[in-house]
Amino acid sequence: MGSSYLYYSMFLHCMIIVANIYSNNARASDRHLSMDYYQATCPNALEIIRKEMECQVLADPRNAALVLRLHFHDCFVQGCDASVLLDDTITLKGEKTAKNNINSLKGFELIDSIKNRLESECPGVVSCADTLTIAARDAVTLVGGPSWDVPLGRKDSKTAGYDLVGINIPSANEGILSIMAKFIYQGLSVTDMVALSGAHTLGMARCENYRARIYEVFSITSALNPSSHTYLNNLKSTCSPISGASDNNETSLDYATPNLFDNSYYHLLLKGEGLLNSDQLLYSSVFAVKTRKLVEKYALDPIAFFMQFSESMVKLGSIKSLKTFEDGEVRKHCRFINT
């Protein structure tokens, strides 16, 4: 698809209110969630979120990546309950300053602006957790990825899990077995892990997270340096070997098509050009027997990738929050619990 066409059509959508018709083939794995959850209370919710995401992705396609990652980091810490969106207050320590999130998670204001619109249409009805889940789906679709139905009815937490961020969120240099364990712990499979890692077809990473990949020698947690000298030298020019001024310098996770949701991420892995160690090890690790096969499959078969990604996103989005099961709410403002 030509990107100019994509942007042109999104531009039109931002100007005109489009009545989107969503198909309704329910496959909610969580019996607490349902497709028609807001049908009576906020029938335009999906359309409002979609329209706002369209404008945000039109303004900057990177925004699609930011929202998708926020959803992932939300669901891996006490379930999909919008805990990641909470700001620090005197009585609450949010997740934003925890390792793996600090200086790294962005796009909170995008969710704020969607939530504002929802609040003016149907105050106190649509949870921040649902908003983020739908926005992540729309983000993927808007940059050329698949679409899927999102079961709804999540509640927002009244607490955050600062310490759980360090425990549950995988990081770039921790090794494939450890990352696998984190997905299994959440009820996801190795297949889900490989498919969801395809999200790295979008967005950027900071030097801090790929320094080891380009300067360290091969080990259990570090893949062989990128085989292409041009690519390796380009990366080195953005990222000095010593921690300092270049730490937050960013480069695309998928340099081939950074703003398009496609399967080129897997092609890069076949070439040894995954940006993060955690990416490349899916293909190159000695432990990567099953994951390597899946990488090859998704590289060859974009439809298989899209179908698995959709299914895995529904699973990711259905990770239950015990916190909101006991005591959840619909926040008025996604950064703060209701008073």
Ligand X SMILES: *[C@@H]1O[C@H](CO)[C@@H](O)[C@H](O)[C@H]1NC(C)=O
Q: Which of 79, 203, 226, 328 binds ligand HEM (CB under 6 A)?
A: 203
- How many residues make contact with ligand X (CB under 6 A)? 6
Residues in the chain: 339
Selected range binding ligand X among 66-74, 238-246, 272-280, 286-294, rule: CB under 6 A:
238-246
Q: Which of 29, 44, 186, 238 binds ligand X (CB under 6 A)?
A: 238
Residues 6+ apart with CB under 8 A from 99: 165, 166, 171
Selected range binding ligand X among 54-62, 152-160, 241-249, 275-283, rule: CB under 6 A:
241-249
Asked whether the beta carbons of 329 and 156 are under 8 A apart, the reply is yes
> How far apart, in whole angstroms, are the C-alpha atoms of residue 143 and residue 261?
6
CB of 144 to ligand HEM, least distance (A): 14
Measured from the CB atom, the residue of 232 and 270 that comes closer to ligand X is 232
The H-or-E segment that residue 205 falls in is strand 204-206
- Write the CA distances from 136 to 47, 63, 145, 232, integer angstroms: 14, 10, 11, 31
Measured from the CB atom, the residue of 44 and 234 that comes closer to ligand X is 234
Residue 65 contacts ligand HEM per CB under 6 A: yes
Asked whether the beta carbons of 329 and 158 are under 8 A apart, the reply is yes
CB of 247 to ligand X, least distance (A): 8
At residue 212, the 3 state secondary structure works out as helix
Nearest to 205 by CA among 162, 177, 238: 238
Residue 274 contacts ligand HEM per CB under 6 A: no
Asked whether the beta carbons of 47 and 18 are under 8 A apart, the reply is yes
Measured from the CB atom, the residue of 211 and 323 that comes closer to ligand X is 211
Residue 257 annotated in ligand binding: yes
Q: Which of 16, 90, 242, 245 binds ligand X (CB under 6 A)?
A: 245
Contact residues: ligand HEM, CB under 6 A:
62, 65-66, 68-69, 72, 104, 106, 170-172, 179, 193, 196-197, 199-200, 202-206, 209, 253, 276, 278
